[in-house]
Amino acid sequence: MITGVVLAGLAVMWAGVLGWEWVEHLREGGGRRRDPITSFRSQLHTLGRTSGVRAPARTPGHRSLSRASELGTVGGAMPLNGAEAARRRRDVASLLIAGSVITVLGWLTTRSVLALALALVVVGLTATYGYLLLRRQRLIAERALKVTYLQRGTTPAPARASYRRSAN
């Protein structure tokens, strides 16, 4: 009885996944071979929408599929400045720490092997993210020591090129 319910649930999920792929395929051209330029423009448009910057101008025959694509930007796709990126890093770190605390408390409460495995995975992800943040800070500090910027308004004198004259 339960096996049948589980199998039916899996069948419905797979039908949803494959059905969605089929609908997307039909919407993109339905099996007709598209010319490479149209395909390339479509891919560029998709990249432009996901990068957080304005998308290139569309051709007059192009139909937009959502309000976000009409505006040319997708909010939250990529941070636009350092403050947004720092806020996003802080949010991710706080979420990972909260997840670690919750899963460890869940393991301490239930003493389940599954809860222990989940707690170890989440704590491992949190530790990895912390390591990557520390590595990023070290790279920024190292770059600050190594890179020197020119003062504004001063340009280095062009090096005199010595040309070797040769006869043909």
Tens-place pLDDT, residues 110-122 = 999 999 999 999 9
List phi, psi (to 5°) of 70. -70, -40
Do residues 39 and 7 both lie within one domain? no
**Residue 157 located in a structural domain:** no
Q: Taken in order 53, 55, 57, 60, is the CA torsion positive or negative? A: negative
Does 87 map to a domain?
A: yes
Total count of domains within the chain: 3
pLDDT at position 19 is: 83
**SS3 label, residue 53:** coil
Tell me, yes or no, whether 70 and 25 share the same domain: no
Residues 70 and 125 in one domain: no
Which range marks the domain in which residue 54 is found? 34-58+66-76
Question: Counting Cβ atoms within 10 Å, is residue 126 exposed (0-12), middle (13-18) or buried (19+)?
Answer: buried
Structure token pair of residue 60? 């007059």
Residues 121 and 100: beta-carbon distance below 8 Å: no
* Cβ atoms 56, 44 nearer than 8 A: yes
84 versus 148: the higher-pLDDT residue is 84
Report helix angle 82-110 to 113-146, nearest 10: 150
Determine how many CB atoms are found less than 10 A away from the CB of residue 73.
18
Higher pLDDT, 56 or 134: 134
Count other C-beta atoms under 10 Å from residue 68's C-beta.
14
Please report whether residue 12 resides in a domain.
yes
- More confident call, 162 vs 109: 109
Cα angle, residue 96 at apex, residues 98 and 144 outer, rounded to 5°: 130
pLDDT at position 71 over 60 = no
CA-CA distance, 151 to 104, in Å (whole number)?
A: 53
pTM > 0.75: yes or no: no
In whole angstroms, what is the distance from residue 48 CA to residue 111 CA?
48
